[in-house]
A and B are shown apart, each in its own frame.
Chain A
Amino acid sequence: MNDKNMKKNSQPLSLHVPEPAGRPGDAPDFGHLVLDAAGAVERPEVGAKPYEMRDLAFGLIRVLDDAGEAVGPWNPRLDPETLRRGLKAMILTRAFDDRMHRAHRQGKTSFYMKCTGEEAIAVAQGMLLSREDMGFPTYRQQGLLIARGYPLVDMMNQIYSNAADPIKGRQLPIMYSAKDHGFFTISGNLGTQVPQAVGWAMASAYKGDDKIAISWIGDGATAEGDFHNALTFASVYRAPVILNVVNNQWAISSFMGIAGGLETTFASKAIGYGLPALRVDGNDFLAVWAATQWAEERARSNQGATVIELFTYRGAPHSTSDDPSRYRPGDEHDKWPLGDPIERLRQHLVLIGEWDDDRHAEALKAAVEQVRAAGKEAEAIGTLGQSRPSVKTMFEEVYATEDWRLVEQRREVGV
Chain B
Amino acid sequence: MVDQNAAPASEATGAGIQPMNMIQALNSAIDVKMAEDPDVLSFGEDAGYFGGVFRVTDKLQQKHGLTRSFDAPISECGIVAAAIGMGAYGLRPVVEIQFADYIYPAYDQIVSEAAKMRYRSGGQFTSPITIRSPYGGGIFGGQTHSQSPESLFTHIAGLKVVIPSNPYDAKGLLTAAIEDDDPVVFFEPKRLYNGPFDGWHEKPVSPWKTQDLAQVPTGKYVEPIGKARVMREGNDVTILAYGTMVWVALAGAEHAGVDAEVIDLRSLVPLDIETIEASVKKTGRCVIVHEAPKTSGFGGELSALVQERCFYHLEAPVARVTGWDTPYPHAFEWEYFPGPQRVADALKSVMTGGR
Contacts and interface: CB of A to CB of B under 8 A. Distances in A.
Given A398-B327, A406-B325, A169 B67 contact: no
Interface string B51-79: 00100000000000011001111111110
A162 B283 CA distance: 45
Interface string A288-300: 0000000000000
Contacts of B45: 251-252, 254
The interface residues of chain A, by DSSP majority, are classed as loop
Nearest to A165: B331
A188 interface: yes
A391 interface: yes
A204 B75 CA distance: 30
Given A161-B331, A188-B142, A225 B75 contact: yes
A251 B326 contact: no
A260 B142 CA distance: 30
Interface residues of A, number: 48
Contact of B74 (A19, A224, A388, A413): A224
Contacts of A187: 144
Interface in B34-52: 45-46, 48-50
Contact of B324 (A171, A220, A395): A395
Contacts of A391: 332, 335
B331 A175 contact: no
B41 to A, nearest CB: 9
B140 interface: yes
Contacts of B104: 189
Given A223-B75, A254-B46, A327-B49, A170 B141 contact: no
Interface string A318-349: 00010000110000000000000000000000
Contacts of A188: 101, 142-145
Given A23-B49, A170-B327, A220 B74 contact: yes
A63 interface: no
Nearest to B345: A412
Contacts of A175: 142
A369 interface: no
Interface string A220-232: 1101111000000
A384 interface: yes
A389 interface: yes
B326 A406 contact: yes
B191 to A, nearest CB: 14
Nearest to A221: B74
Contact of A258 (B71, B101, B143, B326): B71
Contact of B105 (A161, A171, A225, A405): A225
B336 interface: yes
Interface string B299-329: 0000000000000000000000000111101
B221 interface: no
Given A384-B331, A406-B324, A259 B73 contact: yes
Contacts, number: 127
B220 interface: no
Contact of B50 (A161, A226, A253): A253
A200 to B, nearest CB: 21
B73 A260 contact: yes
Nearest to A223: B73
B72 A394 contact: no
Nearest to A228: B75
B330 A172 contact: yes
B294 interface: yes
Interface in A158-211: 161, 165, 169-173, 175, 187-191
Given A110-B140, A327-B50, A398 B326 contact: yes
A233 interface: no
A389 B331 contact: yes
Given A224-B105, A259-B74, A389-B331, A395 B144 contact: no
B200 to A, nearest CB: 16
A347 to B, nearest CB: 35
B295 interface: yes
B143 A110 contact: no
A361 interface: no
Nearest to B142: A172
B332 A394 contact: yes
B102 interface: yes
A67 interface: no
B330 A169 contact: yes
Contact of A394 (B49, B105, B140, B329): B329
A171 B142 contact: yes
Contacts of A19: 49, 66
Contacts of B73: 220, 223, 258-260
A189 B101 contact: yes
Contacts of A321: 53
A15 interface: yes
A33 interface: no
A395 B328 CA distance: 10
Nearest to A323: B50
Contacts of A221: 74
A321 B52 CA distance: 12
B144 A225 contact: no
A318 to B, nearest CB: 9
A413 B48 CA distance: 43
Contacts of A260: 73
A253 B141 CA distance: 20
A170 B70 contact: no
A362 interface: no
Interface of B: 45-46, 48-50, 53, 66-67, 70-78, 101-102, 104-105, 140-145, 294-295, 324-327, 329-332, 335-336
Given A170-B330, A258-B73, 10 more contacts: A170-B331, A172-B145, A188-B101, A223-B73, A223-B74, A252-B53, A254-B46, A254-B74, A405-B325, A406-B326
The 7 closest A-B CB pairs, nearest first, are: A188-B144, A172-B142, A169-B331, A223-B73, A253-B50, A110-B140, A161-B331
8 contacts: A17-B48, A170-B329, A189-B104, A224-B74, A226-B105, A252-B45, A259-B74, A406-B325
